[in-house]
Chains A and B, each alone.
Chain A
Amino acid sequence: MAASTTRGKYAISSHSQEHAQEPGDPDERLVFLINEGKHLFPNEYYPLWETACSKLSHAGYGALIPLSYARHSPKLVKKLNSEAAINFAATVSLAAIKVNRAAAELLPKAAVIAANELKSTQAFTSWVTTIEELIYNAPESLLAVLERTQKIVSTLTPDQFRAWVLTGLRSTGDDALRQINYFSFTDPESEKWFRHEAGDVVFTDLDRRLKLYLLSLWSLRPPIRDLPASTSPLSLRRISISNGVVRVPEVFPGFHGEQAEKIFRAGLAHVGAHLVYSTKIFPLGELKPIQVALVSLLEDARVEYLAIQTFPGLRTLWQQFHVAKPSGPKLVPLLLSRLARALIDKEYKDKDGWVQKGRDMFFDPQNDMTDPAMCRSIGVLLGNDLGQLRAQFNAKTYVVEPAYRDDNMGLWDFGDQQGQEEDSDGIFIEAMRMDREEVEDDSSSEQEQDQKENDEDEQQYHARESTDSEQRESEVAVRYPEYDYLTGSERPNWTCVLEYFPDFGDAYKIERILEKHNNLVNRITNLIQTAKVSLPERLHRQSLGESLDLDACVNAVISRRMGDIPDPRIYSTTERKHRDLSVMVLLDISNSTNDKVQASGTSVLELEIQATSLLAYAMSELNDPFAISAFCSDGKEDVHYYRIKDFNSPYDTTARAHLAGLHGKLSTRMGAAMRHATEDLVAQRTHRRLLLVISDGEPSDIDVDDQQYLVEDARKVVRSISRLGIDTFCVGLDAGGDNYLHKIFGRKNVAVIDKLEHLPEKLPLLYLRLTA
């Protein structure tokens, strides 16, 4: 009996000898199997298949691979067709060469599983293409993927599978270890994207609307983050509040579609209730774990009760998830669920004495529902009762039910055992309505934690604390989607733009530029001044025009009747008289801008600063609203954004000093920066709004190999913002390299200059476009 190789519950065992009547010797067995194949292949294809088997067996891959192929590929004939079966040999061969023997051996069996589920040859071919993509790009991970074929093909279509694989490749770069973590689902990101592709509702999809929901109900805007990666299984993950930061799991397993949206909503509403009503932290004291669980449960019920007084509809929202039945074994988790239901569901009847007692104590008219202390006193008593009944409580496996409720970590003062929960990653916390400081404990000195006997049980609570303690200098972090041209869709929340404080340079440098290029300055100012970009206005009393000015006509007739000479200016026309335009100048300050521009003798960055100085001067003289920002990037999680001047701040010495202080570094993740710059531009209420990008034209980043990817993303951004009514234009600085700018912005919207002197020539192009 050949050894079976099982790897977890997804494994496919690969016995090489499956039927007793097969010959024991591998060579003979191969012959036997090839012979069996005769029955399954049509006559004209059989010799081709025979050849394929033979090639595999003579290629030096060992005996197991051709045996596996010979055994499984005939099954593909019936499910798909002969060609698919025969062509598949090439893929097996590829795997044997580029990956390893184990994967190549597993491949035919996985293919049969795939074919079974996918049913059409076209779908199967698509699946094979993705497998081959994995072979080339993540060979170490192929085995993990093959082992999970059933899960994958039964949940995702081939396109979705490909999208999931691409996401994995994009997010892990070339790192084989990270790839393996992704494709074996060890990395929780992988599960999240898997479900996202499957069309499951993940929190990212609902993020914005649920935040608006919280804002609408209670004017609350707490920071909301993903739960950090942890080793606890999906089913144990709960929403967690700590120090005012709310952490949400990406997905609630078992909840799909509309149900998923409901449970996320219920979860966030519950969070809102805590933020509003949980005014005190409970010190842990000498409480036993069961008592902690009970006090938490009662506090959950209490804040929900209060919230329901204001918003009765919340009862329906929460109650639907309480499904405990008033019967069954008296196990503690079940009793807790029954109690929880009894406290929210007025119609629920439960004969259990303990549940009834809890209910009566909670609803005792003497209670002050606004005081959390009542929960502690009731919880302690109920906990004692359970203790006396000798009911077992396993703190390690306990998880709060129903799933929408949070884990209540933030309610407790664990003393000096608080984990690194302070918001030291500097994420900007927008004004959370701070009528009360709900979780202000910051006694986070890190001492060892082994004084108490319930240590172990407390450990279990701490295990789920986050370790989110990166230090960043930035104050504002915003996530944006990014477009993948290979899947044709945007990945939500893929990039992170961080605003950094710009360096100070010498503001006089800008003055010197203006002095040196005085004539250019004048030309540009005049150019802009004459550009009329605004809503057309009606001008009356014109001597020429497309329509008659009624008033003037009447006057003219009156004059004639009176014997006077009529005024001939009786026409009206429309004309753009003003300039009603906001401009956001976005400067590329990536490392490539340190290159020299041949014709100028200065660096690209220098040329950018000069051009911006001239433009800024002109616009500020003419009182046109404008803003200046700069960007570079260090991977998708760190796109640097620098505000040089905002729309509503003056173009003063500080702004000029920031402009002068720019230096070139890092890479060019243009799309993300443009999305961020657009946010400010969108708020402007002028007739036209322009995003003016100044760049040397090579979008790239350290975590992206595919040169086309970021170009396509930038192009997508240009299209999206034009749908918002915002124009884009690019001033390209020719540093001699390949120019992608035409592709991103469109040929008409790019003006390439290699000398500052050319700027005034090219500007009219821009303004002309805007007035068309």
Chain B
Amino acid sequence: MGINLDDYLIKEEPYYSPTHNEIQLFEAAYANRMPMMLKGPTGCGKTRFVEYMAWKLKKPLITVSCHEDMTASDLVGRYLLDAEGTVWHDGPLTLAVRHGAICYLDEIVEARQDTSVVIHSLTDDRRILSLEKKNEVIKANKDFQIVISYNPGYQSVLKDLKESTKQRFGAIDFDYPKAEDEAKIIAHESGIDTKTAAKLVQISERSRNLKGHGLDEGASTRMLIYAAQLMSKGIPLEEACEVALVLPITDDLDIRNALSSAIEACA
């Protein structure tokens, strides 16, 4: 079945600034079609990285945002009813398996554990996907690879990946980039100058110092980019930081006050 996966190809190079050798690691993993797990806090570049790699490897990328109500059928596919009868509709995972795309399951912890085991047979030597309802067993296309993202920080004990699932993956750690790199990224994504970008990075470090003392996480790279984008449209630094860095992450008046004052000190 010649389904066109062109829609899923990344046509333009996404901007990605490597922090370590993750690009080489991933290329090596992909060469072996090793399932990969990207671990790290939100907003530090995991999704951007996958897009970049998909572009670089010239493979289509199918992304699934996982959530609690997701069933196995949502991944694998289901029969739909129409006037003539029933017709099978491939789910995103099956599409990727059949036609050789990278399937990216984002925030996989959100899905229930009985859903995520669907991928087990794809992540070992067999590389098969069994569609019982259709009575079909698909052998994965040689280009197929599965990638998942995982943020262990927020979840409760009940909502973790099963050990048997974790062990099927190789993992790369993601974290906020080093200060100079982060500044470059911000400058690139927003158009502001590197000096101001460096200032924003300095500000983000202040909020990251409060992690565990009232904040779950400090400001992420994405939030800094938002602030920078506001600034590039003429909003002054302190206001842009209020909107993008302070107000969204906390309602605690003391923490807001402390962060705003720290921003003033950096300005």
Q: Name A residues whose Cβ lies closer than 8 Å to a Cβ of B.
A: 208-210, 212-213, 215-217, 219, 265, 269, 311-314, 316-317, 538, 540, 551, 554-555, 557-558, 561, 578, 580, 685-686
Asked whether, in the complex, the Cβ of B79 is within 8 Å of the Cβ of A554, the reply is: yes
Known: A551-B73, A561-B86. A217 touches B264 (CB 8 A): no
A322 and B86 CA atoms in complex are apart in Å by 82
Min CB gap A547→B, angstroms: 12
- Kindly identify which residue among A213, A215, A538, A686 contacts B69, using a CB–CB cutoff of 8 Å: A538
Asked whether, in the complex, the Cβ of B156 is within 8 Å of the Cβ of A685, the reply is: yes
Asked whether, in the complex, the Cβ of B213 is within 8 Å of the Cβ of A212, the reply is: yes
Known: A558-B79, A558-B86. A269 touches B265 (CB 8 A): yes
Which of chain B's residues have a CB closer than 8 A to the CB of A555?
79, 133
Known: A209-B254, A313-B266, A557-B81. A215 touches B261 (CB 8 A): no
A561 and B83 CA atoms in complex are apart in Å by 13
Asked whether, in the complex, the Cβ of A216 is within 8 Å of the Cβ of B73, the reply is: no
B196-217: CB near A (< 8 Å → 1, else 0) gives 0000000000110110011000
Which of chain B's residues have a CB closer than 8 A to the CB of A210?
258
Asked whether, in the complex, the Cβ of B262 is within 8 Å of the Cβ of A216, the reply is: yes
Q: Is B158 an interface position by the 8 A CB rule?
A: yes
A215 and B133 CA atoms in complex are apart in Å by 58
Min CB gap B92→A, angstroms: 16
Asked whether, in the complex, the Cβ of B85 is within 8 Å of the Cβ of A217, the reply is: no
Min CB gap A306→B, angstroms: 14
Asked whether, in the complex, the Cβ of B158 is within 8 Å of the Cβ of A580, the reply is: yes
A215 and B206 CA atoms in complex are apart in Å by 8
Asked whether, in the complex, the Cβ of A217 is within 8 Å of the Cβ of B262, the reply is: yes
Known: A538-B69, A686-B156. A213 touches B258 (CB 8 A): yes
Question: Mostly helix, strand, loop or mixed at chain A's interface?
Answer: helix
Asked whether, in the complex, the Cβ of A212 is within 8 Å of the Cβ of B254, the reply is: yes
A670 and B190 CA atoms in complex are apart in Å by 55
Min CB gap A711→B, angstroms: 30
Closest to B264 in A: A313
A580 and B156 CA atoms in complex are apart in Å by 10
Min CB gap B201→A, angstroms: 13
Residue pairs across A and B with CB atoms within 8 Å: the count is 75
B138-181: CB near A (< 8 Å → 1, else 0) gives 00000000000000000011100000000000000000000000
A-B contact pairs, 21 of them (CB 8 A): A209-B258, A212-B254, A212-B257, A213-B258, A216-B206, A216-B207, A216-B262, A217-B206, A217-B265, A219-B209, A269-B265, A311-B265, A312-B265, A313-B265, A551-B78, A554-B78, A555-B79, A557-B81, A558-B86, A558-B133, A578-B158
Q: Is B255 an interface position by the 8 A CB rule?
A: yes
Min CB gap B145→A, angstroms: 27
Closest to A557 in B: B81
- Kindly identify which residue among B71, B85, B86, B255 contacts A212, using a CB–CB cutoff of 8 Å: B255
B98-140: CB near A (< 8 Å → 1, else 0) gives 0000000000000000000000000000000000010000000
Closest to A261 in B: B257
A733 and B40 CA atoms in complex are apart in Å by 50
Q: Shortest 3 CB-CB distances between A and B: which pairs?
A: A212-B258, A209-B254, A313-B265
Which of chain A's residues have a CB closer than 8 A to the CB of B157?
685
Q: Is B93 an interface position by the 8 A CB rule?
A: no
Chain B interface size, as a band, is: 20 to 34
Most chain B CB within a 10 A radius of its CB, from A213, A312, A316, A580: A213
Closest to B267 in A: A313
A540 and B72 CA atoms in complex are apart in Å by 12
A215 and B261 CA atoms in complex are apart in Å by 12
Question: Mostly helix, strand, loop or mixed at chain B's interface?
Answer: helix
Which of chain A's residues have a CB closer than 8 A to the CB of B192?
none
Closest to B214 in A: A212
A686 and B157 CA atoms in complex are apart in Å by 9
Which of chain A's residues have a CB closer than 8 A to the CB of B207?
216
Q: Is B259 an interface position by the 8 A CB rule?
A: yes
Which of chain A's residues have a CB closer than 8 A to the CB of B86?
554, 557-558, 561
Min CB gap A368→B, angstroms: 24
Which of chain B's residues have a CB closer than 8 A to the CB of A212?
210, 213-214, 254-255, 257-258
Which of chain B's residues have a CB closer than 8 A to the CB of A213?
257-258, 261-262
Asked whether, in the complex, the Cβ of B209 is within 8 Å of the Cβ of A561, the reply is: no
Closest to B262 in A: A216
Closest to B261 in A: A213
Closest to A549 in B: B71
Asked whether, in the complex, the Cβ of A561 is within 8 Å of the Cβ of B267, the reply is: no
A476 and B48 CA atoms in complex are apart in Å by 46
A569 and B30 CA atoms in complex are apart in Å by 42
- Kindly identify which residue among A215, A217, A580, A686 contacts B213, using a CB–CB cutoff of 8 Å: A215
Min CB gap B109→A, angstroms: 14
Min CB gap B84→A, angstroms: 11
A580 and B210 CA atoms in complex are apart in Å by 29
Asked whether, in the complex, the Cβ of B210 is within 8 Å of the Cβ of A554, the reply is: no
A316 and B267 CA atoms in complex are apart in Å by 10
A578 and B156 CA atoms in complex are apart in Å by 14
A314 and B266 CA atoms in complex are apart in Å by 8
Q: A212-B257, A685-B157 are in contact. List 12 more A-B contacts (CB 8 A).
A: A212-B254, A212-B258, A213-B261, A213-B262, A215-B258, A216-B206, A216-B259, A217-B262, A313-B264, A554-B79, A554-B80, A557-B86
A555 and B209 CA atoms in complex are apart in Å by 53
Q: List CB contacts (< 8 Å) of B243-267 with chain A.
A: 253-255, 257-259, 261-267
Asked whether, in the complex, the Cβ of B266 is within 8 Å of the Cβ of A312, the reply is: yes
Closest to A433 in B: B209
Closest to A538 in B: B69
Min CB gap B71→A, angstroms: 6
Which of chain A's residues have a CB closer than 8 A to the CB of B158?
578, 580
Q: List CB contacts (< 8 Å) of B47-92 with chain A.
A: 69, 71, 73, 78-81, 85-86
A216 and B261 CA atoms in complex are apart in Å by 10
A217 and B81 CA atoms in complex are apart in Å by 61
- Kindly identify which residue among A215, A317, A685 contacts B265, using a CB–CB cutoff of 8 Å: A317
Closest to B69 in A: A538
Closest to B158 in A: A580
A600 and B73 CA atoms in complex are apart in Å by 60
A113 and B216 CA atoms in complex are apart in Å by 55
A213 and B258 CA atoms in complex are apart in Å by 5
Min CB gap A525→B, angstroms: 21
Min CB gap A94→B, angstroms: 45
Min CB gap A418→B, angstroms: 33
A210 and B73 CA atoms in complex are apart in Å by 52
A215 and B210 CA atoms in complex are apart in Å by 7
Which of chain B's residues have a CB closer than 8 A to the CB of A686?
156
Min CB gap B208→A, angstroms: 9
A558 and B135 CA atoms in complex are apart in Å by 13
Which of chain A's residues have a CB closer than 8 A to the CB of B156?
580, 685-686
Closest to B256 in A: A209
Asked whether, in the complex, the Cβ of B210 is within 8 Å of the Cβ of A540, the reply is: no
Which of chain B's residues have a CB closer than 8 A to the CB of A217?
206, 209, 262, 265
Which of chain A's residues have a CB closer than 8 A to the CB of B265?
217, 269, 311-314, 317
A304 and B86 CA atoms in complex are apart in Å by 76
Known: A212-B213, A216-B207, A216-B259. A311 touches B79 (CB 8 A): no
A538 and B157 CA atoms in complex are apart in Å by 19
- Kindly identify which residue among A219, A538, A561, A580 contacts B85, using a CB–CB cutoff of 8 Å: A561
Which of chain A's residues have a CB closer than 8 A to the CB of B71?
540, 551
Most chain A CB within a 10 A radius of its CB, from B210, B262, B267: B262
Min CB gap B255→A, angstroms: 6
Min CB gap B74→A, angstroms: 9
Which of chain B's residues have a CB closer than 8 A to the CB of A265?
261
Most chain A CB within a 10 A radius of its CB, from B213, B253, B259, B265: B265
A313 and B264 CA atoms in complex are apart in Å by 6
A551 and B81 CA atoms in complex are apart in Å by 11
Which of chain A's residues have a CB closer than 8 A to the CB of B73?
551
A558 and B156 CA atoms in complex are apart in Å by 39
